[in-house]
């Protein structure tokens, strides 16, 4: 049985794989950047086609946040190249980031998306066989997994939400704050409970709003 996707704060496994932009070693390719891996059960699937086109159009938003994007599908690279033409024709933009050809299922198994007994080839496997390969992983510069989202095949992913979470992760990595429900870049934030009032006054001499002692709200810190 599969143990399911790797949990938050676990190490993002390193791997070597063939992609549409050549062979990569993942950690070396990622370098000191943030990263997003998003996976697909099979090439030429309708929902994934729309997602890949959308992410290609949004790539500049990931770039300006210092985030590298890489896709994965359970098919060889040469099939990805044909699929990219369909994506360009139907969505207006071809993928402008590497796509892993996980034809031997190694990366999907490594990241807990398929069980160890799933076999060693994509041949003969349908999209339904690979239905659990529908995840988004956000990975920090420390090579730790910061976010995992799993989606059913019938529901397209919301990459505006992925960007929102990356904004929160990058902000909270620099400052001792948390972001509240539905937070967007520029909104007020919450001082972490681990920060004493004395220490908070040093960082926020203007004070804060506190509807409860444990809920201390301040403007978003500057970068």
Tell me which residues are annotated as active site: 48
Do the bridges between strand 135-139 and strand 189-191 make them parallel or antiparallel, or are there none, so unpaired? unpaired
Structure-block tokens of residue 208 = 């804060």
Residue with tokens 């659990």: 132
Structure-block tokens of residue 188 = 């007020």
User: Are residues 162 and 149 in contact, defined by beta-carbon separation less than 8 angstroms?
Assistant: yes
User: Are residues 40 and 133 in contact, defined by beta-carbon separation less than 8 angstroms?
Assistant: yes
CA distances from 143 to 12, 42, 58, 103, 211 (A): 6, 26, 23, 24, 37
CA distances from 149 to 39, 42, 136, 196 (A): 11, 18, 5, 33
Question: At 207, phi and psi to the nearest 5?
Answer: 90, -170
């Amino acid at each position: 049985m599969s143990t399911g996707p790797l949990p938050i704060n676990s190490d993002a496994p390193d791997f070597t794989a063939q992609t549409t932009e050549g062979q990569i070693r993942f950690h070396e390719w990622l370098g000191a950047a943030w990263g997003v891996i998003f996976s697909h059960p099979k090439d030429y699937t309708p929902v994934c086609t729309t997602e890949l086109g959308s992410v290609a159009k949004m790539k500049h938003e990931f770039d300006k946040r210092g985030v590298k994007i890489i896709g994965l599908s359970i098919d060889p690279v040469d099939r990805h190249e044909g699929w990219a033409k369909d994506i360009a024709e139907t969505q207006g933009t071809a993928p402008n980031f590497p796509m892993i050809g996980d034809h031997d299922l190694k990366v999907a198994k490594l990241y807990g998306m398929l069980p160890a007994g799933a076999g060693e080839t994509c041949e003969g496997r349908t999209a339904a066989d690979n239905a659990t390969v529908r995840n988004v992983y956000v990975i920090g510069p420390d090579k730790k997994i910061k976010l995992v989202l799993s989606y059913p095949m019938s529901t397209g992913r919301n990459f505006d939400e992925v960007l929102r979470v990356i904004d929160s992760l990058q902000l909270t990595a620099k400052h001792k704050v948390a972001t509240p429900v539905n937070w967007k870049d520029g909104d007020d934030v919450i001082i972490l409970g681990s920060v004493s009032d004395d220490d908070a006054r040093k960082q926020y001499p203007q004070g804060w709003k506190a509807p409860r002692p444990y809920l201390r709200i301040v403007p978003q810190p500057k970068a």
